[in-house]
Structure 1
Amino acid sequence: MLSETFFVNFSQASFLFQKGLDSLDLLDRLSTNSVLRLSDKCIRTTIVTDEKAKIIDVLNVWKIDKNKLLLESNIENVKKLISWINKFTIEEDSRIQEQKNFFKVSIIGNDLNKLYKFIPSLKSTKKGNFIEVNMNSKRYLIGKHELFNGLDSIDFICLDGESSRNKLKKMILNIGISEKTKEDFELFRIKNLIPKSGNEIIDSYNPLDLGLERLIDFSKGCYVGQEVIARLDTYKKVQNIMHMIKVDDIDSNMRGTKITSSSGGYAIAISKKKFV
């Protein structure tokens, strides 16, 4: 259980609408988690992989309704994601539309009573679901979800531009929840082994290298990269492991290790298992 509750501005979040009746079916054939039967107003995280099971993107899928998905990507990977989805869109009823003016803010921690008093309908919202809320004439999607390592989060998607994000941040501050700076959150992310796009979430690694098994449905139907992931898992052939180390312990003679992130004396390393 976390000892603090805070909010963070995810400035690198990037958003797409995927519209059309075949959107979920197409995305299900391109990613590791089962999204085909995702209900309206639900969120699920899935990983889009290439034929060699290398990561194209890890994204949150917000199902607005049967004709519209909101895909939450990252500025590091969004262009590649669009290109990959379009590559496999042949006769499917699926269209990608970039959204340049959406923003994401998340509350992380366990002390949420003040938030529930401020937004009463959120208390009864189950994890994996989201609600649509108007506050101070601004529109938001608010979901109970989680970070990529499984830590619970309350995610706000601000739908009316920077002004809606700025108003939200003021409202959260006014109920006594403080903001964690970009630098402080980077240290928190590293200590909690939360992979990040552009650092760990890149096409050099597969989901198992980053310990993202929880985002893979091993029982679902065929998707791009499935055979490789299944073989790596079944025969215990995963070559890499993601772990945290202290910067002072980094040795230039460390074999088979790449430092992908570092902050405040700590680092995320991805190492060849045979050298760990």
Structure 2
Amino acid sequence: MIQELYDVQQKAGATFESVADVTIPVSFGNDTTAIQAARQGVALVDLSHWGLLKISGDDRLRYLHNQSTNDFQKLKPGQGCDTVFVTSTARTIDLATAYVTEDSVFLLVSPNRRQQLIEWLDRYIFPMDQVELKDVSHESATFSLLGPGSEALLQQLSDEVLIEDAYASHQELMLNGLKVRVAVGNGLALPGYTLIVSASHAARLWQVLTEAGGMPMGDRIWEQLRIQQGRPVPDRELTEDYNPLEVGLWQTISFDKGCYIGQETIARLNTYKGVKQQLWGVRLKAPVEPGTVVMVGEEKVGKLTSLTETDQGLFGLAYIRTKAGGKGLNVQIADVEGEIVDVPFLTHDYPA
């Protein structure tokens, strides 16, 4: 059924890459136009290669509350949140978005963490827990709308009242006769929505959205945007070398929810202001290989994790030692000069 979606995308100029068992539309041959749409209109991105996990059973909220950094016990159907799964020593596994429904919770997870998270979560289900895990990635398609025109596009397609402004709030809407779960937010610090639909309706929904004005955007430009925005991803910024506070994901952490995996380490870091390094943006004057050490004079102060070429020059993400400084710091990576800058997706301040 998803093959029908690929056929429609291919006719629109898509080129694809296959990674593991997933196919990814990397470009529609319109990269410049697509990024302009994300900034000024509405861009449409296929995130169907991401993982979608379904957690059901009477204990689902308590269970997820105990497995990740955010507060699930306070969430009601139609609400959601970003949360981080961490190891027992608070090292990052993945940043996920949760959508709570009447009888389940859907987790949108990074494509290269889908299987790992299923196995990791299953390990912590005990015999008395009323919890069921299911990978529904191949049963659904996930699209993202990016840009200030996203709400107007949805209003063209539905007579129903759109959902509230709260991040990750969601509801099922009929879009041009198709049942779609529509959620506020798109995984970046840009206006927009996340749409989840049955795989059997994926191709038709893609056509409906593009005919309504959504500009197709490939994964290559999404990757550019996520680096400019500062969204961390596994194997780059989310690794066992870093914890969520160092990443700058403060908004995903509840400091008063009680015990969960990794909680003691995170609480201690917060209480004693022990964050030793932080993730920042960095403007560069020439290409540098991710993984290269960041220097200030003769001192090693961090590491470059991601790099992209933008219409405004080269831009990367880098961890920088807190004592070395932050925004405005001039650095050298290999033999290239750079400047540390803010990125909108992340925060660096301890909560008041």
TM-score of the two chains, using structure 1 as the length reference: 0.89
Q: Aligned ranges for residues 1-276 of structure 1 at < 5 Å?
A: 2-65=39-102, 67-90=103-126, 91-99=128-136, 100-111=138-149, 112-127=151-166, 128-135=168-175, 138-147=178-187, 150-159=189-198, 161=199, 163-248=200-285, 254=295, 255-264=300-309, 265-276=314-325
Flag the 1:122–1:110 CA change in 2: closer, same or farther, 3 A: farther
> CA separation of 1:177/1:117 partners in 2, compared to 1, >3 Å: closer, same or farther?
same
Specify the SS of the correspondent of 1:89: coil
Compared CA separation, residues 50 and 23, structure 1 to 2 (3 A): same
Equivalent pair of 1:122/1:131 in contact (CA under 8 Å): no
SS of the residue 2:226 aligns to: helix
Contact kept in structure 2, 1:18 and 1:95, CA below 8 Å: yes
Deviation at 1:79, TM superposition (A): 2.2
Look up the SS of the partner of 1:123 in the other structure: coil
RMSD over aligned Cα, in angstroms?
Answer: 2.3
Give the whole-Å Cα distance in 1 for the aligned partners of 2:236 and 2:318: 10
Task: Tell me how far apart the structure 2 counterparts of residues 104 and 236 of structure 1 sit (CA, whole Å).
Answer: 38
Task: Look up the SS of the partner of 1:246 in the other structure.
Answer: strand
CA contact (8 A) 1:4 1:110 kept: yes
1:134 CA displacement: 4.2
User: Which whole-Å CA distance do the structure 2 matches of 1:56 and 1:177 have between them?
Assistant: 32
Q: 1:179 to 1:122 in 2, by over 3 A?
A: farther
Contact 2:154 2:175 in 1 (8 A): no
- CA deviation vs aligned residue, 1:229-260 (integer Å, no higher than 9, x gap): 11111212112211122342658662243222
What's the secondary structure of 1:116's corresponding residue?
helix
**What is the CA-CA distance between 1:268 and the residue it aligns to?**
1.3
Question: Could you say if the C-alpha distance between residues 79 and 203 of structure 1 is closer, same or farther in structure 2, counting changes exceeding 3 Å?
Answer: farther
SS in 2 for 1:77: helix
Classify the secondary structure of the residue corresponding to 1:164: helix
Change in 2 beyond 3 A, CA 1:124/1:215: closer
Q: Cα 1:261–1:164, aligned 2, differ >3 Å: closer, same or farther? A: farther
Pick closer, same or farther for the CA change 1:146–1:184 going to 2, 3 Å. closer
Q: TM-score, normalised by structure 2?
A: 0.71
Q: How far apart in 2 are the matches of 1:57 and 1:240?
A: 19
Q: Distance in 1 between matches of 2:165 and 2:319?
A: 34
Shift of 1:56: 2.0
Pair 1:269–1:179, CA change in 2 (3 A): same
**What SS does the aligned partner of 1:121 have?**
coil
Counterparts of 2:148 and 2:272, CA distance in 1: 39
How far apart are residue 61 of structure 1 and its match? 1.3
Aligned mates of 1:144, 1:157 — CA distance in 2: 12
Q: Which amino acid aligns with 2:108?
A: E
Gap runs ≥5 in structure 1: none
Q: Which residue of 1 is the match for residue 336 of structure 2?
A: none
Q: Which moved more, 1:108-117 or 1:22-31?
A: 108-117
Are 1:247 and 1:262, in contact at CA under 8 Å, matched by a contact in 2? no
Q: Distance in 2 between matches of 1:12 and 1:154?
A: 17
Shift of 1:18: 0.9
Deviates more, 1:137-146 or 1:222-231: 137-146
Please name the residue that 2:27 is paired with: none
Q: Which moved more, 1:134-143 or 1:220-229?
A: 134-143
* 3-state DSSP of counterpart to 1:204: coil
CA distance in structure 2 between the partners assigned to 1:184 and 1:75 by the alignment: 17
Question: Is the Cα contact below 8 Å between 1:143 and 1:156 reproduced in 2?
Answer: yes
